[in-house]
């Protein structure tokens, strides 16, 4: 990236947020980089453990202190901004943070992690600034950040089998092609300087036959190289995508909750430019590097002055290209981020089309999507404009270079300087080859620098630690024998969020059925996710038969657990496949038994294709109650020792609910039910309520009496 400080005053470099709520981290990264402690978002995510809910101004200051930045919050009037230490962080629109870098006359340079860098007028600032700001100054040697995380591109390809052999074949064939490129101008020189003056048709025929053979070899080599390059590209593309996809599916659940769907998809799209650059880049660097070196030597052989002139023009092109690098990278990043935001909005519209139709909100949502689409197109236009300017400069620069070279070469010929017409043709060919190969080298250099943008996006997947359950040395096979204990269990999403759970103690005996109820937002679903190992406790722990969960094995616990969660997933396939969740050894007897216990059997048998009936996208071919029962059947199919059900029967009629409760009771497994409906709660052996982050056991009889009293009232 171009360091703007070389032009004088030090500048803030924009850092764009890629998660839903990480504007706080982005502004801290900008301030930290400005003061010389280089960092990036990947480092901050791993070092600071940001909240799903974003940062308040207080937590922003606390996070900044960890980074070696001493900050203070200020309540400032609009005019007071001119007295602040810049760059400063402004609270924006009551929900966002931006960086104010400079004030020039009545214009303010704002770096917005969501929208980019802009000069805004006083009127615009007054509309968005909330009156709260934060000033930061560096504290020497006080940063507790981890070293900046960088993604090494070669880590993606070093383990791919056969890649180096194929690369060697490409290089060998490319050398054959370069030999043709170097020999062709000599053919032209001999033809013009020797054949024409002497009218030697035999020499002309010999040259023609030789170069026909040479051209044939060159064409074959070109074809073989293109086929090998195609193979390398396919190997790289599949390998990188497969490895990245494998890593993605092993990331913590909270990683997905922090990101837009379109943003996650756009990270995979970054694999394309990486694949293309790695596939073509090494060959271009090696072959074009050798070709440029060889041709420039030949150019000096013909004329030192002309060669120096061509090198000067190429050097000027490199400087111009490099000067555009900062702007091109920012424009490319804006284009990627804006496209991801637009894609996310469209995905949400498609998935929520039923809700839009019911509420008649298509026009409003279309307007919202159109705004994001316009931003995406504008970003692409800005990026393409930068590329068009560079192309125009290239065309002008080397058009002038060609005119100057020909003018000087003809002048040398006319002055009888030992430069023939054939030599002019040959030199021009070598010069064009040098310009083309050197230009590709410059473009490849820029492409590699630009590739850091795509590496940063893929690095968010590659450098994020896997869910801790995958770090277990081996998978245990011990089944639950005695009890599950939640001991002094605390949980919050970050150090700056309030505790959702604050000191829960609970013992669940094997085979026992407990119900957890309480107000919405009280932490019931969080308890379920902690029991399943989807979240990690902030304090305290979970003991299985007296063994800490990590030692017992999270995967071991998940293997013997069945769960019906509120956001249970549906995947493309048949009812049987959905119940078995694509079990490779699908057991139809178990599928039918699970469906029977879940109260789904009779309805499935009335369908035309019975258990092979497709469920549609996200289960759209099924009713809400059928989807819920399918999830219950899926949990039962696993023959679990532990069954966790979070509002699993909320969409069912009371008769169906009672049948399912009875069927599950017959399973004789440990059951944890989260519910509000009285029949489900009363079926449990013990009932607990969430109160102020804790679990309080209640008397079933008293709970029933209170329920009836409130219901009657």
Is the confidence at residue 8, as pLDDT, over 50?
Answer: no
Pairwise CA distance, residues 461 & 707, whole Å: 48
| Separation CA 481–CA 545 (nearest Å) | 6
Which of 40, 71, 85, 84 lies closest to 142, judged by CA?
A: 71
Tokens representing residue 230 in the block: 């195609």
**In whole angstroms, what separates CA 658 from the centre of its chain?**
45
CA distance 296 to 290: 10
Q: pTM for this structure?
A: 0.68
Q: Across residues 107-124, what is the average pLDDT?
A: 84
What pLDDT, on the 0 to 100 scale, is given for residue 189? 57
* Pair 660, 677: CB distance under 8 Å: no
Nearest to 625 by CA among 609, 603, 645: 603
Residue 426 pLDDT exceeds 50:
yes
Angle between helices 289-302 and 163-190 (to 10 degrees): 20
Q: Is the pLDDT of residue 218 over 80?
A: no
CB 484 within 8 A of CB 556: no
The C-alpha atoms of residue 114 and residue 124 are separated, in whole angstroms, by: 17
CA distance 360 to 252: 37
First to last CA, the chain: 69
Instruction: Provide mean pLDDT across the span 59-85.
Output: 79
Q: How many whole angstroms separate alpha carbon 595 and alpha carbon 593?
A: 5
* Residue 468 pLDDT greater than 80, yes or no: no
The answer to whether 294 touches 182, Cβ cutoff 8 Å, is: yes
Residue 453 has pLDDT above 80, yes or no: no
Structure tokens at 571: 């995947």
- Checking if the pLDDT of 19 tops 70, the result is no
* Sheet containing strand 501-509, strands side by side: 501-509, 483-491, 539-544, 547-548
**What pLDDT shows up at residue 425?**
73
List, in sequence order, every residue forming a beta bridge with 543; answer none if it has no partner. 485, 548
Which residues are within 8 A (CB) of 510 and not within 5 positions of it... i.e. 6 or more apart? Answer: 480, 481, 482, 483, 641, 670
Mean pLDDT of the residues in the chain: 78
What integer pLDDT is reported at residue 7 of this predicted model?
38
d(CA 645, CA 661) in angstroms, rounded, equals: 11
- The answer, yes or no, to whether residue 313 has pLDDT greater than 60, is yes
Decide if 341 contacts 372 (C-beta within 8 A). Answer: yes
- What pLDDT band is residue 602 in, cutting at 50, 70 and 90? confident
* pLDDT digit string, tens, across residues 139-176: 765 555 555 555 555 555 555 555 566 666 666 666 66
Concatenating the DSSP letter of every residue in 696-712 gives EEE-HHHHHHHHHHHHH
- Across 510-576, the runs of DSSP E, i.e. the strands, are 513-517, 539-544, 547-548, 561-564
Whole-number pLDDT of residue 176 = 64
Q: What string of H, E and C letters represents the secondary structure of 555-570?
A: HHHHHCEEEECCCCCC
Indicate whether 707 pLDDT > 80: no
| DSSP state for residue 639 in the 8-state scheme | -
Judged against a pLDDT cut of 50, whether residue 6 lies above it is answered with no
The one catalytic residue in 12, 14, 15, 23 is 23
Handedness of CA 232, 235, 238, 244 (dihedral sign): negative
Positive or negative: CA dihedral 672, 673, 679, 681: positive
Q: What is the pLDDT of residue 557?
A: 86
The DSSP output letter for 610 is G
Residue 84 CA, distance from chain mean position: 36
Asked if 80 and 65 touch (Cβ cutoff 8 Å), the reply is no
Q: How far, in Å, CA of 631 to CA of 471, rounded?
A: 28
Each residue of 622-678: pLDDT tens digit? 787 888 888 888 888 888 888 988 887 777 778 888 888 888 888 888 989 988 888
Is the pLDDT at 52 greater than 70? The verdict is no
296 with 311: CB under 8 angstroms? yes
The 3-state DSSP class for residue 696 equals: strand
Question: CA-to-CA distance for 469 and 562, rounded, in angstroms?
Answer: 17
With a cut of 60, say whether residue 225 has pLDDT above it. yes
What integer is the mean pLDDT of 31-53? Answer: 74
What SS3 string covers 367-428?
HHHHHHHHHHHHHHHHHHHHHHHHHHHHHHHHHHHHHHHHHHHHHHHHCCCCCCHHHHHHHH
Confidence bin at 343 (pLDDT 50/70/90): confident
Active site residue 23: yes
Choice among 10-24, 80-94, 181-195, 265-279 with the minimum mean pLDDT: 181-195
- Is pLDDT at 567 greater than 60 in this prediction? yes
* Weakest mean pLDDT among 458-472, 504-518, 670-684: 458-472
Say which residue, 631 or 39, is predicted with more confidence: 631
Cα distance between residue 1 and residue 690, in whole Å: 52
DSSP state of 148: P
**534/526 Cα distance (integer angstroms):** 9
Q: Helix, strand, or coil here: 37?
A: coil
- Of 632, 518, 623, residue with least CA distance to 578: 632
Query: In 416-548, where does DSSP find H-type helix?
Result: 421-462, 524-531
| From 20-29, 193-202, 648-657, the region with the lowest mean pLDDT | 193-202
Task: Give the separation between CA 236 and CA 160, rounded to whole angstroms.
Answer: 8
pLDDT for position 3:
36
Q: Which residues, at least 6 apart from 527, have a Cβ–Cβ distance to it below 8 Å?
A: 486, 501, 504, 516, 674, 695
Radius of gyration from C-alpha coordinates of the chain: 34
Angstrom distance (rounded) from CA 704 to CA 706: 5
What SS3 class is residue 535?
A: coil
Largest alpha-carbon pair distance within the chain?
Answer: 119
Please state, in angstroms and rounded to a whole number, the distance separating the CA atoms of residues 516 and 680. 10
Confidence of residue 4 (pLDDT cuts 50, 70, 90): very low
Residue 338 has pLDDT above 50, yes or no: yes
Q: Residue 133: what are its φ and ψ, rounded to 5°?
A: -140, 170
Question: Does 261 score more than 70 pLDDT?
Answer: yes
> What residue has token string 């070469």?
409
Pairing of strands 513-517, 670-674: parallel
Instruction: Identify the residue with better confidence: 358 or 681.
Output: 681
The residue that leads in pLDDT, 511 or 183, is 511
The verdict on whether omega for the bond into residue 490 sits within 30 degrees of 0, i.e. cis, is: no
Q: Which residues pair with 89 in a beta bridge?
A: 99, 134
85, two tokens? 């230490």
């Amino acid at each position: 990236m171009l360091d703007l400080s070389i032009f004088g005053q030090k500048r803030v470099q924009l850092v764009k947020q890629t998660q839903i709520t990480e504007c706080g981290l982005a502004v801290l990264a900008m301030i930290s980089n400005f003061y010389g402690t280089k960092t990036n978002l990947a480092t901050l995510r791993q070092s600071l453990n940001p909240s799903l809910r974003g940062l308040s101004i207080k937590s922003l200051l606390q996070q900044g202190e960890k980074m070696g930045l001493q900050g203070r919050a200020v309540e400032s009037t609009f005019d007071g901004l001119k007295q602040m230490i810049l760059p400063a962080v402004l609270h924006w629109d009551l929900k966002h943070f931006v960086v104010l870098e400079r004030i020039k006359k009545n214009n303010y340079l704002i770096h917005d992690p969501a929208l980019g860098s802009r000069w805004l007028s006083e009127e615009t600032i007054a509309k968005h600034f909330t009156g709260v700001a934060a000033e930061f100054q560096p504290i020497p040697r006080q940063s507790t950040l981890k070293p900046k995380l960088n993604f090494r591109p070669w880590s993606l390809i070093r383990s791919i089998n056969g890649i180096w052999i194929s690369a060697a074949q490409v290089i060998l064939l490319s050398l054959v092609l370069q030999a043709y490129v170097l020999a062709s101008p000599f053919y032209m020189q001999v033809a013009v300087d020797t054949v024409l003056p002497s009218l030697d048709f035999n020499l002309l025929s010999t040259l023609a036959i030789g170069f026909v053979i040479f051209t044939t070899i060159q064409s074959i080599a070109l074809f073989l190289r293109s086929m090998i390059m195609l193979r390398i590209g396919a190997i790289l593309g599949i390998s990188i995508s497969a490895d990245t996809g494998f890593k993605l599916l092993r990331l913590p659940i909270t990683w997905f909750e922090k990101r837009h769907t379109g943003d996650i998809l756009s990270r995979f799209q970054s694999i394309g430019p990486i694949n293309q650059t790695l596939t073509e880049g090494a060959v271009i660097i090696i072959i074009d590097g050798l070709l440029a070196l060889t041709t420039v030597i030949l150019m000096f052989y013909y004329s030192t002055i002309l060669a120096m002139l061509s090198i000067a023009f190429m050097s000027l092109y490199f400087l111009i290209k490099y000067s555009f690098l900062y702007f091109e990278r920012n424009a490319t990043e804006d284009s990627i981020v804006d496209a991801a935001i637009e894609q996310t909005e469209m995905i949400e519209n498609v998935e929520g089309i039923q809700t839009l139709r019911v509420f008649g909100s298509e026009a409003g949502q279309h307007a919202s999507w159109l705004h994001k689409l316009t931003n995406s197109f504008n970003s692409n236009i800005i990026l393409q404009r930068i590329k068009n300017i560079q192309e125009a400069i290239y065309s002008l620069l080397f058009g002038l270079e060609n005119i100057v070279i020909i003018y000087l070469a003809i002048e040398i010929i006319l002055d009888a300087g030992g430069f023939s017409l054939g030599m002019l043709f040959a030199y021009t060919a070598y010069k064009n080859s040098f310009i083309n190969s050197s230009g590709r080298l410059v473009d490849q250099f820029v492409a590699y620098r630009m590739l850091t943008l795509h590496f940063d996006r893929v690095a968010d997947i590659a450098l994020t630690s896997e869910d801790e359950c995958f770090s277990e040395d081996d998978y245990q096979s011990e089944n639950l024998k005695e009890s599950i204990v939640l001991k002094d269990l605390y949980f919050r999403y970050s150090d700056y969020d309030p505790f959702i759970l604050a000191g829960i103690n609970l013992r669940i005996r094997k085979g026992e059925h407990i119900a957890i109820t309480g107000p919405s937002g009280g932490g019931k679903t969080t308890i379920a996710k902690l029991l399943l190992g989807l979240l990690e406790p902030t304090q305290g722990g979970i003991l299985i038969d007296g063994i800490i969960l990590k030692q017992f094995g999270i995967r071991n616990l998940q293997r013997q657990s069945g769960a019906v969660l509120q956001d249970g997933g549906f995947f493309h396939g048949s009812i049987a496949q959905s119940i078995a969740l694509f079990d490779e050894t699908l057991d139809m007897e178990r599928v039918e038994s699970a469906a029977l216990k879940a109260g789904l059997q009779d309805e499935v048998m009335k369908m035309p294709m019975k258990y092979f009936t497709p469920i549609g996208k996200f289960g759209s071919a099924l009713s809400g109650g059928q989807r819920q029962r399918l999830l219950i059947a899926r949990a039962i199919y696993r023959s679990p020792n532990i069954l966790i059900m979070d509002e699993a029967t909320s969409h069912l009629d009371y008769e169906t609910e009672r049948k399912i409760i009875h069927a599950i009771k017959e399973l004789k497994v440990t059951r944890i039910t989260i519910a509000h409906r009285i029949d489900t709660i009363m079926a449990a052996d013990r009932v607990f309520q969430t109160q102020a982050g804790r679990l309080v056991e209640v008397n079933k009889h008293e709970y029933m009496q209170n329920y009836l009293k409130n219901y009657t009232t």
